[in-house]
Amino acid sequence: MKKYRRLILVLILAIVFVVNKEYFFGSFLYAGKLGAFLTSTIGSFIVMLAFTGLGVLSYPKKDKRD
């Protein structure tokens, strides 16, 4: 299960990024406002940072146990 946890995190990160990417490109083209584009880009970036942080925090524990 420990090995799969890293894969699941990467998959969730990829899915969230793709969904947000479609959302912010769609809103940018649909609304034509730079504000909506920046807001959704920053939002997806924060989500990516959060998932990356979770992954980084879990790596040292796995290395010490191994």
For the chain, the domain total comes to 1
pTM more than 0.85: no
In a domain, 29, yes or no: yes
* Domain hosting residue 30, numbered range: 18-56
* C-alpha pair distances (Å), 41 with each of 1, 2, 18, 45, 56: 33, 31, 12, 6, 22
What does the pLDDT look like over 13-66, one tens digit per residue? 777 766 666 665 565 555 555 556 556 667 677 777 777 776 666 655 555 554
In a domain, 50, yes or no: yes
Residue 66 has a pLDDT of 47
**How many Å apart are CA 24 and CA 9, to the nearest integer?**
22
In a domain, 10, yes or no: no
